[in-house]
Chains A and B, each alone.
Chain A
């Protein structure tokens, strides 16, 4: 019976070589692991890399200079200039993030004190209405409620549930409304 079943299987042309192959690779693996773990290998690869870097350095320099000249002729910024611009952008981002942190802190302090003025602004709180929020933009606690999806969820957890958002407890929803103010949580 077993023999019949074996006969039904398609012929694998590699079958006779499989055992031999595995044994060979196992032995080869040990040899290679020992080889790459040796001082000689480290020295050889180090020398190769060093040689490559030394040999290509003049060409890289020449290419860089030629590229800078060509870009200058075409009135295009060089890589260095773009890089420097990018670094400045990152710096801006950091400063914005710092401001964001400070604003969050202000909002937190304001919400702790719970000033009656902010509680009197239901329109901005519930709908995140831009017109309403314009009138209160100097009041940090009200700002917190301006962000749309999270603020709506905060104001109306059941609606958030119905639209497929995660259900929020009051504290989490409030926190979410605060923090997504600037980032505007985006779907990834």
Chain B
């Protein structure tokens, strides 16, 4: 058959691909599907407990609380059935809880790290203790969730925290040359107070732009070309759809917390210097005594490894471990290789410390 004779068939294939592409761009995938129950709420925050699938006798004794960043949905931890970190943990016998911060409204513009770390997390922890019957618990903080959990763990070391897992944790801001965000938000160029006076909260669109502009070609062009190239692969298509749904579900970050992130951390690196004050209390990392695992993504452009490496030498924990994995900020936990690399490592580390 000549190529000319093939043209109608080719057009049909092309047309089908266009329809698939259009569907993926205009619809949302079902994400966050693992069964859970709501057990506590405060303001916009919600605490969920995932329904255990392992009988009580086979479950780990120490419950695990997951805490994600403030400016994206935590559904990234439960992306889609068959490829969900939460589903994996539940199937491995963990009693898993998730703290969803919710979407801040104008009334939440003054919420700060202080409120999240000293009001919300301790209350959620209390609920988990009451529900699980265990006085000990594990915490997993990812991205800004890792900042909050580190602050909480340092300020409340006697709350029963046994294990602390930090994923791609932006904690050390000393290496300003290596941080593009630090350059953008330098006080010479960026007036954070003026911005927050105008908007109250930091608009989600600006946060989204900031994250995508770090790698503009990849985020605005390559991702769509790659999708087009892989439209015949249903697995790749569904993965892309789920991830795109999560990425584009953007919302603002509470103004007070955003200001602290920029001024106290990006500009002054107060946490690592031991000068960060939360509600008047100095955050002393030496007080953090829980077993500590920090997971570093080697290819992370949002939180470069230099931001997560130094924490282990600053804390008072006797049991510390750094796990380096190739991949990006989100990819190490939600990418196609996560279930072979990162998840089993976390499970192995946590299992023996959750008995």
The answer to whether A13 has its CB under 8 Å from any CB of chain B is yes
Residues of B within 8 A of A178 (CB): 130
The answer to whether B352 has its CB under 8 Å from any CB of chain A is no
Q: Which of B37, B49, B189 contacts A46 (CB 8 A)?
A: B189
Of the candidate stretches A66-74, A86-94, A121-129, A135-143, the one touching chain B is A86-94
Q: How far is the CA of A59 from the CA of B49 in the complex (A)?
A: 46
The answer to whether A114 has its CB under 8 Å from any CB of chain B is no
Residues of A within 8 A of B222 (CB): 25, 29
Residues of A within 8 A of B323 (CB): none
Q: Is the CB of A46 within 8 A of B55?
A: no
Residues of B within 8 A of A79 (CB): 106
- 20 A–B contacts, CB within 8 A, in A order: A33-B217, A36-B180, A37-B180, A41-B184, A42-B183, A42-B184, A46-B190, A47-B189, A53-B191, A90-B42, A166-B56, A167-B56, A169-B56, A178-B130, A180-B39, A183-B40, A185-B37, A186-B38, A188-B35, A188-B38
Q: Which of A8, A53, A83, A180 contacts B107 (CB 8 A)?
A: A83
Residues of B within 8 A of A101 (CB): 123, 126
| Residues 56 to 98 of chain A near chain B (Cβ within 8 Å) | 56-57, 60, 79, 82-84, 86-87, 90, 93-94, 97
Q: Is the CB of A25 within 8 A of B217?
A: yes
Residues of A within 8 A of B3 (CB): 11
Q: Is the CB of B189 within 8 A of A97?
A: no
Q: Is the CB of B38 within 8 A of A172?
A: no
Nearest neighbor of B48 in chain A, beta-carbon distance: A188
Q: How far is the CA of A86 from the CA of B221 in the complex (A)?
A: 42
Interface of B is mostly: helix
Q: How far is the CA of A105 from the CA of B41 in the complex (A)?
A: 19
Q: How far is the CA of A29 from the CA of B105 in the complex (A)?
A: 36
Nearest neighbor of B216 in chain A, beta-carbon distance: A32
The answer to whether B25 has its CB under 8 Å from any CB of chain A is no
Q: Is the CB of A166 within 8 A of B51?
A: yes
Q: Which of B48, B52, B107 contacts A166 (CB 8 A)?
A: B52
Q: Which of A7, A11, A87 contacts B10 (CB 8 A)?
A: A11
Given contacts A25-B222, A97-B42, contact A179 B130 (CB under 8 A): yes
- Against B, the Cβ 8 Å flags (1 = close, 0 = not) of A145-188 are 00000000000000000000011110110111011100101111
Residues of A within 8 A of B55 (CB): 166-167
The answer to whether A120 has its CB under 8 Å from any CB of chain B is no
Residues of B within 8 A of A47 (CB): 189
Nearest neighbor of B301 in chain A, beta-carbon distance: A33
The answer to whether A49 has its CB under 8 Å from any CB of chain B is yes
The answer to whether A50 has its CB under 8 Å from any CB of chain B is yes
Q: Is the CB of A186 within 8 A of B37?
A: yes
Nearest neighbor of B210 in chain A, beta-carbon distance: A45
The answer to whether A28 has its CB under 8 Å from any CB of chain B is yes
Given contacts A183-B40, A186-B38, contact A53 B198 (CB under 8 A): yes
| B298 → chain A closest CB, angstroms | 17
| Residues 179 to 230 of chain B near chain A (Cβ within 8 Å) | 180, 183-184, 186, 188-191, 194-195, 198, 213-218, 221-222, 225, 228-229
The answer to whether A16 has its CB under 8 Å from any CB of chain B is no
Residues of B within 8 A of A21 (CB): 225
Nearest neighbor of B214 in chain A, beta-carbon distance: A36
Q: How far is the CA of A186 from the CA of B36 in the complex (A)?
A: 9
Size of B's binding interface in residues, CB under 8 A: 57
Nearest neighbor of A85 in chain B, beta-carbon distance: B107
| B113 → chain A closest CB, angstroms | 17
Q: How far is the CA of A8 from the CA of B48 in the complex (A)?
A: 53
The answer to whether A116 has its CB under 8 Å from any CB of chain B is no
- Against A, the Cβ 8 Å flags (1 = close, 0 = not) of B33-62 are 001111111110000110110011100000
Q: Is the CB of B105 within 8 A of A86?
A: yes
Residues of B within 8 A of A32 (CB): 215-217
The answer to whether B26 has its CB under 8 Å from any CB of chain A is no
Q: How far is the CA of A174 from the CA of B56 in the complex (A)?
A: 13
Nearest neighbor of B37 in chain A, beta-carbon distance: A185
Q: Which of A11, A84, A185 contacts B39 (CB 8 A)?
A: A185
Q: How far is the CA of A14 from the CA of B183 in the complex (A)?
A: 39
Residues of B within 8 A of A171 (CB): 133
Q: Is the CB of B107 within 8 A of A86?
A: yes
Nearest neighbor of B126 in chain A, beta-carbon distance: A101
| B112 → chain A closest CB, angstroms | 14
Q: How far is the CA of A92 from the CA of B188 in the complex (A)?
A: 41
| Residues 127 to 145 of chain B near chain A (Cβ within 8 Å) | 127, 130-133
Q: Is the CB of B131 within 8 A of A176?
A: yes
Residues of B within 8 A of A82 (CB): 107
Q: How far is the CA of A21 from the CA of B126 in the complex (A)?
A: 55
